Structure 1
Amino acid sequence: MSRRLEGKAALVTGAGSGIGRAAAAVFAREGARVIVSDVNVPGGAETVAAIQKQGGEARFIRCDISKPAEVEALIRGAVEAFGRLDCAVNNAGISGVMAPTGDYPEDMWDRIMATNLKGVWLCMKQEIQQMLKQGGGSIVNTASAAGLVGVPMAPAYVAAKHGVVGLTKTAALEYAKANIRINAVCPGVVRTPMITVATDGNPEIEAAVIAAEPVGRMGTPEEIGEALVWLSSGAASFITGAALPVDGGLVAQ
């Protein structure tokens, strides 16, 4: 069976756990050489070890995507490792605290914006420059269903993810003729460490979250990883500027 990304060089940020880890594993399964990046060094190392155990090729580069110098070093390191950058998944993000807009802590607002929006832009900036040099590539940003609809008590997260969707569409238009496709996935409720923190391990809160999903369950990181890889592959060659809900019907309600 042919592998969809055989020989491609890929980068996945936030790959130390959750959706990023699952995405990195699917990229490797499909034949890509993968740069795994995260601020979580032990988590990143675990992701690399799991990929290598399955016969894939992966390397870890630590990066805080909110810091421009670290992002520049990340992209430089990725190109030094594999010679080019064909696919980039900008997945790293944080959830922050839950509070109404009028009471939201300013320091937390700034932290979420620095990582979830500015960090994505910093990564895109460097990735686009590299892809222009080599004649093309694919970028997929992890937005959220919260980038398409409002979510009470999460103003900073929602604002940042809406920003990611807008940034994705704008950049897609700017670089469409340069053979660089830029898309976003918008996951619904997915069983990851982030959702565990958000529900605080409370079964009643978790049940309420699941009840919001028309399919009656949470998604899995692997399901989001499959969408990320599909958008990065030749199978999606005529798709750019899309914000694809992968959400069990959540935003269709």
Structure 2
Amino acid sequence: MTAMRRFEGHGVLITGAARGIGAATARRFAEEGARVLVTDVDLAAAEKTVGTLRELGARAEAFTCDVADRTQVEAAVAYAVEAFGSLDVLVNNAYRCTSDAPLFEDEEDEDWALDLDVTLSGAYRCSRAALPHLVASGRGAIVTIGSVNGIQDFGNHAYSAAKAGLMSLTRTLAGHAAERGVRVNLVAPGTVRTTAWEGRDDDLAVAAGLYPLGRVGEPEDIAAAVAFLASADAAWITGTTLRVDGGVLAVNTGFRQVRRRPGDDGEEG
């Protein structure tokens, strides 16, 4: 168990927290003393995650929340405040990602709209509902899960556009919320081993070779970054995008491998 207890008495709401990055983040906060509301459209899975948190001795609750529904979002926030006495941290993790059509002109309007509605507008709805309570807590923080897709091309047109929008929302909301004592930041993960990659171990092995650190990320890698940005350790950080990506955006691994081949003269063109 994590030795630090930076979130004793904090109320934390995490969207899309039944599995993957969301579940790992819920566990990290629980290990550090937080009271955690695990929200998801899949209530049974959320309750299973809550069960594992309670085994740690944590105070945790499950709540159904579709971030595309304003009424459900506001109900989740109200539940967290009532159950925990305060809402101190919001983690916007819920997303939707539709596979691209073979040709861009064949993309469907509905898929585009739904990806943006859940991924981008969902974070907007949750932040809007939570902000007054985060202000009232006196130590409020919002951490949103973005993606390297919002910075560089890795495919998925709508998802990537939504993730890029989240970076912009992080900056503008940070500027608005700063004078009210609330910090707003974003974590941009690279490839992370979650259920989205289930049954694709060979693909993950190939992806690992593209990362300078030699592996893909684990959900716990992202959870650690989220906890840092939400904590007092990051008290003078707001409006930032923290890349947690194994160096993939900093280093062109494929090109470096080509340069290491026999006969390389070390010149660049």
User: Normalization by structure 2: what TM-score?
Assistant: 0.88
Q: Distance between the aligned counterparts of 1:150 and 1:127, measured in 2?
A: 32
Check conservation: 2:210, 2:248, Cα contact below 8 A. yes
Corresponding position of 2:90? 88
> What's the CA shift for 1:246?
0.6
The equivalent of 1:240 in structure 2 is: 238
Cα deviation, 1:118-176, whole Å, max 9, x if unaligned, reads 00100010111222344440000000111221223x10010000001110011001111
> How big is each residue's C-alpha offset from its partner over 1:180-216, in whole Å with a ceiling of 9 and x where there is no partner?
00000001100001233xxxx3454333322222212
Q: Distance in 2 between the 1:42 and 1:111 partners?
A: 23
Q: Distance in 2 between matches of 1:67 and 1:140?
A: 20
Provide the residue aligned with 1:31 in structure 2.
33
Match of 2:154 in 1: 151
Q: Match for residue 76 of structure 1?
A: 78
Structure 1, gaps ≥5 residues long: none
Cα distance in 2 for partners of 1:195, 1:162 equals 22
Shift of the 85–150 alpha-carbon distance from structure 1 to 2, 3 Å rule, reads: same
Taking CA–CA contacts closer than 8 Å with sequence separation of 6 or more, which of the two structures ends up with the larger relative contact order? 1
**1:176 matched to which residue of 2?**
178
Q: Secondary structure at the match of 2:124?
A: helix
Q: Amino acid of the residue matched to residue 80 of structure 2?
A: A
Deviates further, 32-41 or 208-217: 208-217
Equivalent residue for 1:213, pick from 206, 211, 220: 211
Q: Which has the larger Rg?
A: 2
Q: 1:93 Cα deviation (Å)?
A: 1.0
Aligned match of 2:121 in 114, 118, 121? 118
The DSSP-based 3-state class of the residue aligned with 1:5 is coil
Aligned to 2:227: 229
Moved more, 96-105 or 214-223: 96-105
User: Which residue, out of 144, 164, 180, partners 1:141?
Assistant: 144
Moved more, 129-138 or 209-218: 129-138
Q: What residue ranges of structure 2 are gaps of 5+ in the alignment?
A: 252-269
1:194 to 193, 196, 205: 196
In 1, are the aligned partners of 2:191 and 2:217 still within 8 Å (CA)? yes
Residue 98 (structure 1) shift: 2.7
Q: Under a length normalisation based on structure 1, what TM-score does the superposition of the two structures give?
A: 0.94
Query: Taking structure 1 as reference, are residues 87 and 215 closer, same or farther at Cα in structure 2, changes over 3 Å only?
Result: same
Preserved contact between residue 144 and residue 188 of structure 1 (Cα < 8 Å): yes
The one of 83, 103, 107 aligned to 1:104: 107
CA RMSD in angstroms, aligned pairs only: 1.4
Superposition misfits of 4+ residues, deviation over 4 angstroms: none
Pick one of 5, 8, 18 that aligns with 2:7.
5
Give 1:222 shift: 0.8
Provide the C-alpha distance between the structure 2 equivalents of 1:195 and 1:202, rounded to a whole number of angstroms. Answer: 5
Counterpart AA for 2:228: W
CA contact (8 A) 2:185 2:229 kept: yes
